[in-house]
Amino acid sequence: MSGNPDLRRRPRRLRSSPALRQLLAETDLGPADLVYPIFVIHGAGQRRPLPSLPGQAQISVDLLADEARELQSLGIPGVLLFGVPARKDDEGSENYDPDGIAARAIRELKDAAPDLLVFSDLCFCSYTGHGHCGIINQTGSPHYQPELPQGHLLNDASLDILARAAVVHARAGADFISPSGMLDGMVAAIRDALDSQGLAGTGILSYAAKFASGFYGPFQHAADSAPAFGDRRTHQLPPANRREAMLEIELDEAEGADILMVKPALAYLDVLAAARLRTRLPLAAYQVSGEYAMLHAAAANGWLDLRRTALESLLAIRRAGADFVISYFAKDAARWLGG
Ligand code: PBG
Ligand code: ZN
C-alpha cells in the first residue's frame, strides 16, 4: 500500500484516557516548585494594589507574618523579597541600612515563618534616586571616572555597596542573596563578603542570565525602580544572544553561585534549556511581571482562559529545565493545583 502512513504506530493510543496521560506525564508542576515575589513597604496596615499587576500589591512590613503563613499553608516554599524604601539617594544607602526596608522585612518573615525560604533580591535600582542598579558616573562624585560617560553604571564601585548590602541582608536572616544587577564579578564579591563575615551558610541565587527586556515594565512601577534616564543595556544581556548567556551562566557558577536564574522565562525557554545542559547547579526561571500582565490582560478581555494558560506557561518553563519558577501566579497556581 505505497503512500499510506504506517498505522501500526499509533501515538494517540497513549493519550486516550486521563489516567494514561497522568501516568505518562514527563513534567510535573506543584506548589513546591514555585517561589512568590513580594514587594514590601514601610508603614502599617498598608496594602497598595498594583494596577499593572492585577491581584498583586505592595504590602507593609507588619502584614508579612500573615502573608508568610498563607504561603506556607499553600505549600509554597519560598519568597523573593523586594524592598521599596522610604528614602532614595545616590548610593541607595537604605539597602545596606540594618533598619532599612529589606533588613526589616527579612527579620519579620524569618520570625513569623522560620521555614519559609527568603530569597532577598539584591539590587540598587529601587533604592537610588536615579533608578540605576548601583553607583553611576557623575561629576562631583568621589567615584567619578572622566574616561567613562556620564551616567554610566560603575561596575567595581557598585560591587562594594552590593557586598555591603549582602552582608546586611544575610545578617537579617536571608537564606539566599539574589543579585539582580548583572554586574561583572557580583557573585564573587558577594561570596567573599559573606564568607569573611562568618556567613558561609548563606547561599547565592544569581540572576545569571538576565536579559534587557521590555517585559519588566509592570515591575518597574511596582518596585519604583525605573531609571530616570538611559536604560540597562550596558549590563543586562542583549535579547539576541544565547551564547553570551551561557558565558554568564558559567562565570556565575565559577564565582560560587549556588543556584542560577534565567530571566525572563517564556521568551527565553531556549536559553533555559541550553543552560540545563551546561551546568549541574539548580536552575530557577523568573516568569516576570510582563508575562503575568499579558495573560491577565488577555483574560480580562475574554480572549484567554487565565488558569489554563498560566498553568501551561509554568509547566512549559519546568519542561524547558527550571527546577523552580519565580512567579506572581504562585498563590493562584498553588490553589488551582490543589496545594
Ligand atoms: C531589578 C529587577 C528587575 C526585575 C527584577 N529585579 C527589573 C529591571 O531589571 O529593570 C524584573 C522582575 C519582573 O519584571 O517581574 N534589577
Ligand atoms: Zn536593578
**Span 190-201, average pLDDT:** 98
Q: How many CA atoms lie within 13 A of 330 on its CB side?
A: 32
**225 Cα–ligand 2 center, Å:** 7
**302 Cα–ligand 2 center, Å:** 34
**220 Cα–ligand 2 center, Å:** 9
Helix (H) / strand (E) containing 206: strand 203-210
CA dihedral 44→45→49→55, nearest 10 degrees, is 130
Give yes or no: 110 in active site. no
Cell numbers for 43: 508603614
The whole-angstrom separation of Cα 332 and Cα 311 is 10
Verdict on whether the full-model pTM lies above 0.85: yes
Ligand 1, from 180, 231, 232, 233: best to mutate by most atoms within 8 Å of Cβ?
Answer: 180
Give yes or no: 263 in active site. yes
**Span 5-12, average pLDDT:** 93
**24 Cα–ligand 2 center, Å:** 41
Ligand 1 atom closest to Cα of 236? 9
Ligand 1 close to Cβ of residue 132 (< 6 A)? no
Mean pLDDT of the chain: 97
pLDDT in tens, 110-148: 999 999 999 999 999 999 999 999 999 999 999 999 999
Ligand 1, from 81, 219, 262, 263: best to mutate by most atoms within 8 Å of Cβ?
Answer: 219
